[in-house]
Amino acid sequence: MGEVEEKLETYEVKREGEAEILMLKSNAVFFNPVQVHNRDMSIAILRTFVDKRKEEHEERINRKNKARQHVSQDIPPRPDGDGTSSEQPASSSVDGEINGDHGRELHWSADKAEGPSTETAETPSSKRIRELNAPIVLEALAASGLRSLRYAREVDGLGKVVALDNDEASVEACKRNIKFNGSAASDKVEAHLADARVYMLTHPKEFDVVDLDPYGSPAIFLDSAIQAVADGGLLMCTATDMAVLCGANGEVCYSKYGSYPVKGKYCHEMALRILLSCIESHANRYKRFIVPVLSVFMDFYVRVFVRVFTSASEIKNAPLKLSYVYQCVGCDSFHLQCLGRTITKGKSVKYAPGIGPVVPQKCSDCGKKFNVGGPIWSAPIHDQDWVLSTLANVKAMKNKYPAYNKITSVLTTVSEELHDVQLFFSQHNITGTVKCTPLSAVVFRSAVLNAGYRISSTHVNPLGLKSDAPWDVIWDIMRCWVRLHPIKEQPQDSAGTMILSKSPKLEANFSRAVAAVSNAQAKKVNRFLPNPERHWGPKIRAGRTITSKHASLLGHEAVNGVIHQKDGNGLVVDKPSPGTEEGVRTTEEEFSDDECAREP
Ligand SMILES: C[S@@+](CC[C@H](N)C(=O)[O-])C[C@H]1O[C@@H](n2cnc3c(N)ncnc32)[C@H](O)[C@@H]1O
Ligand SMILES: [Zn+2]
């Protein structure tokens, strides 16, 4: 066999979207095919970003032109400062005291964001007009470069894409893959061997888009990443250390993210909100703040898409977007305690600490204690306008997304969520707490709607329900249900007995409400798809010596088909992995969260 053939033998060509990569058959460079969901979703959001950025730029020019006309006609223009923005997202203008700011929609206009991608040009009238440059993307943790190649080849209107990795084999592979994808890729994508943290710190505000897709936790990259994003730019960030974020090791979560997770059915949404609060806290250090456009829990990880702006005045609102969570240890009730509040009098706004506690020492529903978690991001985690635009774009380009079904189902469910309700409960848990006959989702939803409250599903959990109904209303509904469907006597000190010992104040109406059928049911669309493939999940860190233990734990696909075993002479030999029939799952202790995290 010639040298070239021999070399080619060691590679496999993998295609995803419009990019092709040469993968070494060993585990030398990281590649996880099921992350196609993550990459497709990122491409969809990038396309929306390119469009929105253009729209915002045009609006800015129109506004400037109008302001000029006003000036020339001696009409005072509306305040419209340039540079560092002072515009505030929509907030309450009525006099009074607002404890927290949970529900408000944060629509931040990027009109005044100044980034490196605008160039000033002198016009004949000597007025400065900024031209919009194509957005520059940094993939800070690029591995094979597949993601960067897909961005460059598939997203129209992007400028340069910089792919970094601190692993020599990965950068070599990335450079090889750039060449392999021809001039469409090599004209745009460049790969560098660098520690992403150093690179980002030394390129402040230089990138319109920064993508973080680490092994496990992104925590150590956030401080530098937040500084590398241009004003109005986009930070896209994955975390796969779900065990940590969901409370398996609360203290580890606190040390990495500055928040304490509590165990609840909502833990994956809490994970998203912990990550957002962590990013916000890093941003605030540099007079910056974030506006989430999409935050999703998919497969085995969370991924957030946030815009980054600079404003010394807006960061005063940071405590209004953060809350502690009180989780009852006896029943399913949880309550949010905002960190701050504002007191407005006319045009003056004063900031003050939140008033608490919002709960008594013991749960008023079941009499048990509360655990306290957080702080979590309690402002909206999605921008509905972005979600709907992205969904429409994806539908219009169906054949461009290999993971079309997955990303449309996630975006559709996200678009149907109540965006001003932070966490959710599980109807199964509620019936489990009072130990009653289960009631159907439609009947339960109807009772909530008939009581005058809103209810929606959540993309995070097929059994989860988001509602603005207070807990006493939820429990009253269950009390009424149990009156109609009596249960056996339960232990005196159980949470369910305590809850049912009280008479309902509300007379629940279980008759079917039209809006009670979820949109998914009404449209007969599957919102939660089955797992992507056998042995799906996080992949092992590249370059690790893979043993039969890894193979049996993770499955054949997860270890890229290669295991290393010492032969009789102490040599490491490649051998097809056995036992691939069952995807044997194991406890968290088997792997550190950095190398391989799985759902708790
Ligand atoms: C999960 S992989 C990235 C996967 C890739 N984004 C994709 O979509 O296929 C994480 C990569 O980060 C790289 N990495 C880890 N620490 C780094 C650092 N400090 N600077 C740059 N790269 C780093 C690793 O070498 C690895 O290739
Ligand atoms: Zn309770």
Q: Which ligand is nearest to the CA of 363?
A: 2
Which residue puts its alpha carbon closest to atom 26 of ligand 1?
143
**173-198 burial by CB neighbour count: b if 16+ within 10 A, else e?**
bbbbbbebbeeebeebbebeebebbe
Strand 340-345 and strand 348-353: the pairing is antiparallel
ipTM of the complex: 0.99
Mean pLDDT of 326-330: 96
| Predicted local confidence at residue 3, as pLDDT | 53
Per residue in 377-427, pLDDT tens? 999 999 999 999 999 999 999 999 999 999 999 999 999 999 999 999 999
Residue that has been written with the tokens 């070494």 in this structure: 24
d(CA 360, CA 367): 10
Q: Report residue 390: phi and psi, to 5°.
A: -65, -45
Total of domains in the chain: 1
- Is 481 inside a domain boundary? yes
Q: Is the CB of 196 under 6 A from ligand 1?
A: yes
Q: Taking a C-beta distance cutoff of 8 angstroms, is the pair 544, 538 a contact?
A: no
Taking the CA of residue 143 as reference, the ligand 1 atom at the shortest distance is: 27
pLDDT band at 144 (very low <50, low <70, confident <90, very high): very high
* Domain span at 431: 425-523
Q: Is the CB of 167 under 6 A from ligand 1?
A: yes
pLDDT band at 165 (very low <50, low <70, confident <90, very high): very high
Q: Is the CB of 151 under 6 A from ligand 1?
A: no
Q: Is the CB of 85 under 6 A from ligand 1?
A: no
CATH number at residue 468: 3.30.56.70
Q: Is the CB of 170 under 6 A from ligand 1?
A: yes
- Is 583 inside a domain boundary? no
- Is 132 inside a domain boundary? no
Strand 207-212 and strand 229-239: the pairing is parallel
- Is 510 inside a domain boundary? yes
Taking the CA of residue 211 as reference, the ligand 1 atom at the shortest distance is: 6
pTM of the model: 0.83
| Predicted local confidence at residue 126, as pLDDT | 43
Q: Taking a C-beta distance cutoff of 8 angstroms, is the pair 37, 408 a contact?
A: no
Question: Does 105 score more than 70 pLDDT?
Answer: no
pLDDT band at 9 (very low <50, low <70, confident <90, very high): low
Strand 563-566 and strand 572-575: the pairing is antiparallel
Q: Taking a C-beta distance cutoff of 8 angstroms, is the pair 375, 277 a contact?
A: yes
- Is 251 inside a domain boundary? no
Q: Is the CB of 40 under 6 A from ligand 1?
A: no
Q: Using a CB cutoff of 5 Å, list residues around ligand 2, an ion.
A: 328, 330-331, 333, 363, 365-366
Q: Which residues pair with 304 in a beta bridge?
A: 237, 295
Q: Which residues pair with 139 in a beta bridge?
A: 163, 211
- Is 493 inside a domain boundary? yes
Question: Does 572 score more than 80 pLDDT?
Answer: no
Per residue in 106-128, pLDDT tens? 444 444 434 435 554 444 444 56
* CA of 191 relative to ligand 1 center, distance in Å: 12
- Is 397 inside a domain boundary? no
More confident of the two residues 253 and 2: 253
| Predicted local confidence at residue 350, as pLDDT | 95
Q: Is the CB of 558 under 6 A from ligand 1?
A: no
| Predicted local confidence at residue 531, as pLDDT | 66
Q: Which two tokens stand for residue 561?
A: 């088909």
